[in-house]
Each structure stands twice: as C-alpha cells, then as structure tokens.
Structure 1
Amino acid sequence: MPYKDLRAFLSTLRQSSELVDITRPIALRYDVAKALAKSSAVEGPALMFKQNGTEFPLVAGLYGNRRRALIAFESTEKTIHERVTKGIENPIGPVDFAGPAPCQEVVLTGDDVDLTKLPVPTYSPLDGGPYITAGIVVSEDPDTGVPDIGNYRFQLHDSRVLGVFSAPNHRFGKNMAKAIERKVSLHGAIVIGIDPMTAFSCQVQCADSANDWFVAGGLRGAPVELTNALTSTLKVPAHAEFIIEFVVDANDQRQEGPLGEYTGYYTPASPKPTAKVTAITHRRDAIFQGLLTGKPITENHVLKQIPFEASILRQLQAQFPTISDISITSSGGVQVYVVIAMAPRYAGEARQAILAAMASNLHPKWVVVVEPDIDVRKSSEVEWAMSFRVKPREDVFVVDHTAAAPLDPYTDGGYSSSVGIDATRPFGVAFPEVSDVPDWRTFDLPEINRGK
C-alpha cells in the first residue's frame, strides 16, 4: 500500500533511523540550512526541528539522498525505473475525499492570515528573504482547465504576500502567462507536507495536456484523495499538512530573489508577480516542510533525479529499445549532464540516441553514450569508457544553438550548445577484451566484513 500521507512516511523513516529530532533551538535564518548541509554531506538523516521559533515543527531533508528516495518508492536500484515507468503507464484518477478534510481542520482567512507564523527558513546569505521551497503548486490551465502540480519557489514578502517565480517553459509559468494575456485571475494553492509519491510525481516529464493527479495516482498505485479549496474552484490533497491558497497579482510586481538555485548559483533579483494569500488551512498538529536548494548535491536534485531518469528513459526506449539505463547526474543539476547505456544495433545509432536526448526538454549540454557493461552512475567507469573507447575527432561532436537549461548562468543570450560523446566501442570492429577479475562480486571474504 502507498504511504497515505507525509506522517506515514515519517514513521517509516524513524523506524529506519533516517529521521532525527533536533530538540534544541535552531534559528530559521541560516542555521536550518547549515544543519541540513552538514547532514547531507555525510549521507545523514532527515531532520525535524522542534524548536524553530514558531508553533510548528519543521521537517527537512526527507529526500536528501537516494537511499531515502528508494524508501519512498519502496523500491531498489534494480527495480526503480521499472517501478516508475509502470506508474506512468498506468494512471489512476483522483477521488473526492468523503467528509471534512484533515488539511482543513484549522482555517485562517482575512486578518487571521499570517505567513510569518510559519517556519519558513532563509537558506543562503544572499537570498532575498525566507523562501518556501518544498511547496507543491496546484494550478489550472486557463484555457483547458487541466490541473498541474509542480514544485516552485515562493519568497515571503510579508504576512499575506509571496513573490512568485516559475520558468516560462514550466506549466505553472505557462498558466500565469496565459492568465496575464487574457486578463483573468489565476488562482493557485501551495501544498506543503504530502505523501512522497505525489511529491515525486511533480517531477515526471509529461505533456502539458496531462492531468497530474492521474500521474500521481499511477505512482501511488491508488487514487489521490482531493477536497475543494475554500477560495477557488481548485481541488487540493485532503491529507496535506498545509494548504496556502492564493491568487496571482501581475499588477503588483515586487523584487524577487536572489535565491541559491539548483545550478549552485544565485539567480539575480528582478521584479516578478506576487501571490496574494486568500486562505491558509492546516491540520491541528501540522508539520511544515523545508527543502535545501543550492550547489549540488542538495535535496531538490535527489527529488528530481528518479522521476526525470525514468520518464526520459521511457521516451528514449520507445525509439531505441536497446537503451538499458540512464543517469541524469546530480552534479549537473539533474539537467545538463546525461549518461546513457545502450547496445548499438548499427553504426551511428549511438549518435542518433545522443541527438534524441539533446532534443528532449532536459536541454542537456553533455550527453555521453556508453555500453551496458559500464555503470552509468559511477563516474570512474564512464571516464574509463571515455578515455579508451573514444576517438575525439570521430566520436565527439558539438551541436550549436541548442536550447539552454532554465536558470543556466552561462548561456549565449538564452541558447547554448551541446556536446555529444559516443563512448561505445566501434560497431563491427574487433576490439580488445576487457581485463577484469571474474566472479569477484560473489566471492565470499568474511575477513573484510568488519563484523557485519
């Protein structure tokens, strides 16, 4: 059975020693981020900050490493891509929650709305202010009414106003652009504290016409239970910890940013639309959620990686069935550096696969194709293939004027170039055998197990 809500997942993490309570006072300004960065650096646990200056505990780092991501998916490295692909290919529609929704046990409207009472951290020294980084935005296409859920950032301006940013090629950004052009109101809801499969579904790469609640249901293997928002016609997850309802105000533009982003660099500040909060609802003993962003590897990279890999792998395998694995590296922001494992069926097929990856909405700068004997997640093996299976003059090529990844700090006026590297052995040509010790992986050597 899927995790019903955030609390069920937290219970599993506690039982696995993957969640630790911090019971001493920790400041929301910088110190939360310092603690998360330190735990992440040693592959440590998620952290629950019990004393953060507000009445709500703050949990963060839930998906701070791939180990916890696999726990969330109830999967292993061997089965994870198949698990996600199966979910994508078997969507399940949402259902209406019967009865009063847990996410609306406490309702705050009008003068009772106060964002400053929430434990919203300031993560980096040059950030424009406190940021909600773990919020999942629910919005609808103004033309079609199709709902989108996605992970977007919000800067806290004051007690009732947030700064809004979404890259223009993302669905929330497109929804805002359409609403502004048509001069209609765009309502949204920030969902905070939700079951892990719904959180991961936000990262699945799918068409703009897709109803994301069906994608989330497919990953969960069960319908998402929804309830009506209070101040709009949107539907929101009934078991969320917090719902922040808002309407976008394109006429009230305020300075938003900087923020340390997934590239590892600050995005510069600029005037952007605001979100005027119309209601805050939450569970009686609600848990707020944070998420560290910045120089890889941080939690947002882990959150993106598995859904990105599985959905792009699915797209590529439809054209190249001998592709067996893909790594969209965290060091490249889970965006610009891609390694693909495939067994080419004919000369030049690896190059075709590289071009297909470049044409995907990842917009990678680097695409490397290796053979299945190479572990795409081990840089030493990929570098070995690049060192001894590549003739740079023949196997390396550059495609100019390609689309740039969102927020890339180093582009040529909005576009870039991409490098393809065919690190497969030459097709149909004799090549030396690999020198490797056979069966060492299964060799029993208890002397080095250190008592385990």
Structure 2
Amino acid sequence: MSSVPVLSGVAKEKGDAAAVDLEQFDLRRFLDALGSEEFSSIDGPVDLAAVASMLEGNPQAVLFRQPAGESIPLAGNVAASRSRLAKAFNTTPENLLGEVLKRLRKKGEVVEVPRSAAPVQQVVLTGDECDFTKLPVHLQHGLDGAPYISASIDFVVDPNTGWTNVGVRRLMLRGRRTAGVDLVAPSDLRAIYIEHASRGERLPIAFAVGTHPIDHVAATMRIPTDELALIASLRDAPLGVVKCVTNDLMVPADAQFILEGYLDEHGHVEPEGPYGEFLGYYGGVKKNPVFHLTAITHRRNPIFQTATISGRTMARTDTSQLCALRTEATVWRALEVAVREVKAVYANAATGGMFNVRIAMQQRVPGEARNAIAAVFSCLANVKHVFVVDPDIDIFSDEQMEWALATRFQADRDLVLQDRMRAMPLDPSLGGSHHTAKAGFDLTLPFLRPGMTRSIEHRVPAPPAFEGRRFDSLEAALEDGPKSFEQLMTSTGTRDGREIVRWLEDTGATRTIARDEEGRYFFG
C-alpha cells in the first residue's frame, strides 16, 4: 500500500441541507442498525449511580432510555468492540484497518450548511438555560473527582494554520457551566491553548457529544490536516458543518449535542482528577485549564453519550478500541517506508490499544523483522512492546501468538531492547522516570534464502490432505521416488492405511526399504 498523503486545508463552502445527508451518520440510526448481539436497550428508569457498573465489561452497546428517570437517553459502549467499529465502516473486523487506510487516501469534502438545516441546532440553550447538571452525566470510577463527560470530541482552530484541530477530551464537571479539561499530555490542543494563555487570551472551543463512531476514530488520528476534512475522509462522504451560536467554530451539523464555550486565559491552574485512565489505572489530581460553557445546542430528540475508559476489562472499553485502530493505522504507515511485505498489524485492546503491537510480515532479506521493530519503536511514543511473526501466524489469535513466542524465540538472540526513549507519562511502570524502555520480540523462523526449504523441525503439522499422484501399485509409487506415508496412501487411494504397514513389512523382507532424513520411504 502507498503511504497516506498529508491532506491539504479544505475550504468550507456554503451550501444547503440537500448538499449532504445529515442523517446518514446519526448516532441513533447507527444504534438502531445494530443486532441484538451488539446492542441492548434499558427501557425503564436507571439511577445514574448504576450506569458505570452496567457498562463495565459489557460486550454490548447500551442505550439507557430514562437515565435518572429523565427524558434524555444515554448511550454507552458504542465503540467498545472491534466488530461495532467494523460495522461503522461497513466492513469486517479483519478488514477494518485496510478500509480505514483506503479512506484516509481520499480527500474529504466539508460543506457549511445554514443553521436552519442543522439538526444539532434544532434546540439552542444559552445563558442560565445551559447547564451541565441537566445532562445525564454520571460518576464513572469510584475515585473520580466528579462526574465526567467522557465521549466529547473537541474542536478548535489553530491560528497558525487556520485548520480545525479535532481531538477527544474529557470534561470534569465543576459546576453548572464550568468543567476541567485534561491538557497535560503533549498534543496540538495543548500547544494551541498555551499560546493563547501566554497572551492572556481565551481559546474558543466546542465539544460534540453523541456522534457516529467514525467521528471518534477521526478524532484520535494524528495527521497534519484540517481535521474536519479528516472526518469527511473517514466517513467517505461530505461532512456538513455549521457555525456555533456563541463563537465562530465550525462543528458537525449532525451531532446530537454541541457544548460551546472557551478555555479561560488563566492556564493550568485548577485541580482536575483523579480519573480512571485508559491504561487501566487512576491518574492523579493535575493542574489543568477550565472550560466555560456558553451554549448547548442539540437535536429535538437527542441521545447523550458516555464512553467507557478504564478498569480490568480494557478490551471492552471505547477508548482502548479507538486507540487500537489509531495505533494500527500509524504503525502501518511507518512500516510502509521501513519494510516491504507487511501482511497485518494488530494492537491488542487489552493493553490500552497502544502498548503492545503485533506485526505479520514476509521477510525479503535477513534483518527485516528488526527493521520493523525499530520503525514501530520510533513512530509512536506509546508503543512499548513489538511482536513480529511470519505470515503463517494469525496475529489476531492469542493462542497462536503464545505458541510463536514459546517456540520461535530465544531471548539471547531474538530480543531487541532500546532504553531511554520518550515515555507515555501515564504509564504506571515508569516509577517517576521520564523515559521508557522498549522491547521487540522477533518471533520469525530462520530466514530462508531462495531455493532453500525448511527442515522438518520448522514445519507446522497439519492433518493429512491426501493430495497427489495416483499409481498402479505401491511398488510403482516407490519406484517413482521417495514417498511419505501420506503419499503412499494417496498413491493407491486407500482410506485406511493399515494395509500399507503390512505391505512395508512383507516387502521389506525381500527388498530393502530405507528412509531418508525426512522419514520418506524409498527402495534402497
């Protein structure tokens, strides 16, 4: 596959609602299309205190129709499985990465629609009417500092490029119209905010809540472009955007909710946290900026959304599944320029979707597996462990990966270590260090040069297939050349084989039958 190009900035041209389908990527429509194995609906009232435990480890997306007995439904776990992400892209889990990479190569079209046509501005609340505490926001983890809005996608404009930057940030409720925002880890939004705060300026920002899974995938990507266009690319359809009511930001017109406001000019000064982080442990209290709410706009019959983040069932959280897909796309692009025949890339969601990466590849020359390991070490700070296998290993199978590690790896020969690399600050194993060590595991079989075949000790057993030439007799089969026992059975078409044992014994009494180094029979 060719590398993913850097997308150019996209002008947002005026249009009308007819220019784009403003219902195609409606969250409600996506949920309605899920089957019973992927989705469940809770029709009666549910206390907000019960939501987190009902989502924890749940393999299904869940719609709480009356959270706290109120009228705004709450959806959770929407993107918390690879199969649901695949459904969002109209493909299969195995082909999901390929579909994402294909869409990333397309130029995204962004069309501004008038406010009268934008579903997300059917209801507009400003002033005292907009209130965080009137939304179904729940406590997610036992030690969290407050209820969090966790499925929020943020939109800001980078004044240096004019592009819209899109990301995923949580909001810790501090009051009716204030919330803490986590901006500690390096990011484009952090850099943009610090620049504004250094000048004593507020940063206009908007958050979309209740969005199609594709929009969340786009928000996790790190590709230098106007990221509204990136959403359109991944949707493989024009993106309708609308101008906010209280600032000039453009946001998806088909979202369920938009929370408008600004990050104040005071910088990283207010405590935010603790919070259950995406690595399965708590993050402590940090100093962070404050978001001030100036408007809430939403559909007439909206769905609010929460995302699962942390705990012991990481593979069944929204964050891990989204991070895994982002990791795979980033790693694939890095491998495209480092090695040649990459067959598959998989980031296991159980590791937070980024710390452990598996690669299946065909080596063309000795050492390519190590080149792949080095490329992955460098392309993402979050990746700590890289496992490279031959194409015969299914990297989606824990069983096969364990087998490859057990039988194709020698630590003194196949372990690649690199220390003092950039660390993910939230990694609890760092012990206060600002650097991390990374390990690569070369689980490939010894490299074969052209014309060479593997010794029998490196061949994988499989049930006999009984495919090959037929002969008039067993004598004729052996006269033709050495044969395995399976080939002897195939040569006569027998479905038993015990008669061949008798024939070998009887014939061996009068004529020498020997065996070669692979155990094949031949006349000596």
TM-score by length of structure 2 reads: 0.79
SS for the counterpart of 1:376 is coil
The equivalent position to 1:355 in structure 2, one of 374, 399, 411, is: 374
1:221 maps to 2:230: no
Q: Is 1:7 matched up with 2:13?
A: no
| Aligned pairs (5 A) from 1:49-448 | 49-53=64-68, 54-98=70-114, 100=116, 101-206=118-223, 209-251=224-266, 253-295=269-311, 296-297=314-315, 298-411=317-430, 412-428=432-448, 430-431=454-455, 432-437=458-463
Question: Matches of 2:362 and 2:387 in 1, distance apart?
Answer: 13
Q: State how far apart, in whole Å, the 2-side matches of 1:187 and 1:256 are.
A: 20
Counterparts of 2:48 and 2:155, CA distance in 1:
26
- Is the Cα–Cα contact under 8 Å of residues 335 and 405 in structure 1 kept in the other structure? no
Structure 2 counterpart of 1:424, one-letter code: T
**Are 2:183 and 2:289, in contact at CA under 8 Å, matched by a contact in 1?**
no
Distance 1:438 1:405 in 2: 49
CA contact (8 A) 1:301 1:334 kept: yes
Could you say what the CA RMSD is over the residues aligned between the two structures, in angstroms? 2.0
1:25 and 1:374 mapped to 2: Cα distance?
48
Partners of 1:180 and 1:358 lie apart in 2 by 34
| Identity across the alignment (%) | 33
**CA–CA distance in structure 1, aligned partners of residues 276 and 265 of structure 2:** 24
The equivalent of 1:47 in structure 2 is: 62
**Given that residues 150 and 203 in structure 1 are in contact (C-alpha distance below 8 angstroms), is that contact kept between their aligned partners in structure 2?**
yes
Q: Larger relative contact order (C-alpha < 8 A, sep ≥ 6)? A: 1
Q: Is the 8 A contact 2:388 2:444 kept in 1?
A: yes
| Aligned match of 1:448 | none
- 1:55-84 deviation per Cα after TM superposition (whole angstroms, max 9, x unaligned): 311111112222211111110134222211
Query: Which deviates more from structure 2 when the two are superposed, residues 406-415 or residues 150-159?
Result: 406-415
Provide Cα deviations, 1:403-442, integer angstroms capped at 9, x if missing partner: 1124212215221110111111121374421112367xxx
Task: Note the alpha carbon deviations across 1:198-252, whole angstroms, 9 max, x for none.
Answer: 222112232xx31111111111111110000112121011111110011112427
Provide the secondary structure at the position in 1 that maps to 2:86.
Answer: helix
Alignment of 1:18-29 (within 5 A): 18-29=38-49
CA distance in 2, matches of 1:152, 1:377: 29
More deviation, 400-409/334-343: 400-409
Q: Which residue is equivalent to 2:522?
A: none
Code of the residue aligned with 1:10 in structure 2: it is L
C-alpha contact 1:142 1:178 (8 A) present in aligned 2: no
Q: 2:271 and 2:464 mapped to 1: Cα distance?
A: 61
Secondary structure of the 1:236 match is strand
User: What residue number does 2:56 align with?
Assistant: 37
Cα separation, 2, equivalents of 1:160 and 1:322: 53
Task: Decide whether the 8 Å contact of 1:168 with 1:174 is kept in 2.
Answer: no
Where structure 2 has 5 or more consecutive residues not aligned to the other structure, the ranges are 1-20, 466-524
Report deviation, 1:355.
Answer: 0.6
C-alpha distance in 2, partners of 1:243/1:348?
A: 51
Q: Which amino acid aligns with 1:203?
A: T
CA distance in 2, matches of 1:347, 1:168: 38
Deviation, 1:171, is 2.0
One-letter amino acid of the counterpart of residue 233, structure 2: G
Q: CA deviation at 1:286?
A: 1.2
CA distance in 2, matches of 1:103, 1:327: 36
TM-score normalised to the size of structure 1?
0.91
Provide, for residues 90-115 of structure 1, a one-character-per-residue CA deviation record: whole Å limited to 9, x for no partner.
12121111451111111111121211
Which of 407-416 and 334-343 deviates more?
407-416
Tell me if the contact between 1:56 and 1:118 (Cα under 8 Å) persists in the aligned partners: yes
Return closer, same or farther for 1:58/1:397 CA change in 2, 3 Å cut-off. same
Displacement, 1:123?
0.7
Distance in structure 2 (CA, Å) of the matches to 1:133 and 1:436: 48
Aligned-partner residue type, residue 25 of structure 2 = K
Amino acid of the residue matched to residue 408 of structure 1? Answer: D
Q: Which amino acid aligns with 2:310?
A: G
